[in-house]
Amino acid sequence: MNPNPRERTIPGRLIVLPMLVFAAAVISIAAYWLFSQPRSAPAPPPSIVVLPFDATDAQLGERAAVAIMADLGGIPGFEVIPREQAFPIKGSDPQEILKKLNARSVLEGSIAQSGDRVQVTARLINTSDAFQLWSQSYDRAATDLTAIEQAIAEGVIKTLGLKR
């Protein structure tokens, strides 16, 4: 068969040109979408600020916080903000703690002592939205304060899904 010399063919340039225009349009749209999206701040690493517990005896509240910090401190991949940074920000709202210390959660609480009994309340808060993640109250003999501190640390570990 002889090809018909009068038959029209589309030059290669006319096929390639629309393909290049289409590819450029797709790349432009993708670049615009990627770079025009608002950037969200990266999530803080798994971390906690343990604030001194409110107590009539301030030293008792500080000792409780330090004991809980020690219990949480040995967990791999979990950062416990040092007391030198944590204690001065007591009374700050959770978002302020997030800004200042880049901690994911904060633990606060109170201790009330009456005779030989102690009532301890602990509350774990997510710093990004100030939602309460966990809360627990304990009413025991004052001699059980160490066990209460350990129970609080275990509650935090379980709530945050940490592993020792």
The strand pairing partners of 96, in sequence order, are none
| 160: number of Cβ within 10 Å | 19
Average pLDDT over residues 5-21: 69
C-alpha R_g of the chain:
30
Contact partners, residue 17, CB within 8 Å, separation at least 6? none
Q: Which fold has domain 47-160?
A: Rossmann fold (3.40.50)
Average pLDDT over residues 16-36: 81
**CA end-to-end span of the chain:** 81
In this predicted structure, what is the pLDDT of residue 3?
Answer: 59
* pLDDT tens digits for range 98-134: 899 999 999 999 999 999 999 999 999 999 999 999 9
Structure confidence at residue 62 as a pLDDT band (50, 70, 90): very high
DSSP three-state, residue 84: helix
